[in-house]
Amino acid sequence: MTMDQLVAPAGLDMRPGFDEPVAASQRVFRALMDALSRPGRIVDLPALAQAPHELEPAAAAIGLGILDGDTSLWLPRDCAAAAAWLRFHTGCRIARSVADADFVFVPRGAAAPDLSQLRLGSDEAPHASAMLVVAVTGLEAGSGARLTGPGIDGEARLSVTGAPDELLVRRNDMVAAFPRGFELVLCCADRIAALPRTTRLEG
Amino acid sequence: MRSESTIDRRQWMAILARAPRETLERLWSEVADPPPFTTLKPAETGLVMVRARCGGGGAPFNFGEMTMTRCIVQTSGRIQGHAYVAGRDRRQAELAARFDALLQMPDRQAPLLGTVVGQLAQAQAERRDGRWADAAATRVEFLTMVRGT
């Protein structure tokens, strides 16, 4: 929490964050935990009045709730305003490359970064991996791909539209080396669904 | 001549941070035509570690933590005002941040430096001089000892 981390570029129209930062951050954490522990379940996040337009409201809320001075964030180069906003409110570091990032945000319409660089942790420290937060155009539970694994009673169905090409296929390859892997959070408006590394995704 | 050469932002922020809330409240009510503000970071209270150094030349050490409240506001003209004040008075932090923003507006700076900041600085100097005078009045001369060499 040093001063220089809070100063935004001069002349940038900085937007406020949550009206009640503490309560809202706790709700974000709880929502993310629910989504990760019940893969495929769609969870609502606290509303955010004025998120930067590059970010889905859900991704912006996750950023405000989860990032802090000890975490690093990667955003595409053309999302400087969103990066400045998250940095202003959370004090997070902006990662130079995907390989340095704890959180990788892919806004709607942005090209997915080079996923081969994404941090997957090691067998000794699988938690030293990244979380990928991706904007999609549609999320629907009850139909679509078949999800099985921990946290799912039998099977769950999740239909995802508008995800970057091949993302879900690549994801399956990358989490095959369990316990190494990464958590994927899909954001659509103010709703999210999560695919932790333990979830098997078919079809 | 720019008035910034006589007092810079760091100095007026320090003066505002030391001003009591009641005084800031009164001075704010006298501001003509205040611009609309958005609160970027609502006033929040936390701790900062105060570092110190013995005799100005020793190794720095952690002196202790103190309670502080900070606030960031923005005018409609995209000027940000920041304030870090000692204690837990959130309104004081908010008012100090608003004044900081106003003081960065070129057309308001000179008059505000003369009135608000000038008044506050004078009151603070008088209080400090008063305390020094009180302390000086109790000074005891040890005539048998050599003072300073």
Non-local (6+) Cβ contacts of A14 within 8 A are: A8, A84, A85, A88, B40, B74, B78, B80
Domain residue extents for chain B: 3-137
> Tell me, what amino acid is at A201?
L
Contact between A133 and A185 (Cβ < 8 Å): yes
Work out the number of other CB atoms within 10 angstroms of the CB of residue B21: 17
Contact between A185 and A134 (Cβ < 8 Å): yes
Beta-bridge partners for B61: B52
pTM of the model as a whole = 0.82
Contact between B69 and B90 (Cβ < 8 Å): yes
Q: Which of B65, B71, B78 has the highest number of chain A CBs within 10 A, making it the mutation to test binding with A? A: B78
The pLDDT value recorded for residue B83 is: 96
The pLDDT value recorded for residue A9 is: 55
Q: What percent of chain B has pLDDT over 90?
A: 75
Test A21 with B42 for CB contact under 8 angstroms.
yes
Beta strands in B1-149 (DSSP E): 37-53, 60-75, 80-86
Domains, chain A, ordered by start: 19-202 (3.40.50.11310)
Q: What is the per-residue burial (b if ≥16 Cβ within 10 Å, else e) of B36-54?
A: ebbbbbbbeeeeeeeeeee
Q: Which of A6, A20, A64, A87 has the highest number of chain B CBs within 10 A, making it the mutation to test binding with B? A: A6
Is residue A2 over pLDDT 70? no
Is residue A183 over pLDDT 70? yes
Put simply, the chain B residues between 79 and 138 with a CB less than 8 A from any chain A CB are 80, 82
**pLDDT 10s digits, B3-49:** 444 689 999 999 999 999 999 999 999 998 999 999 999 999 999 99
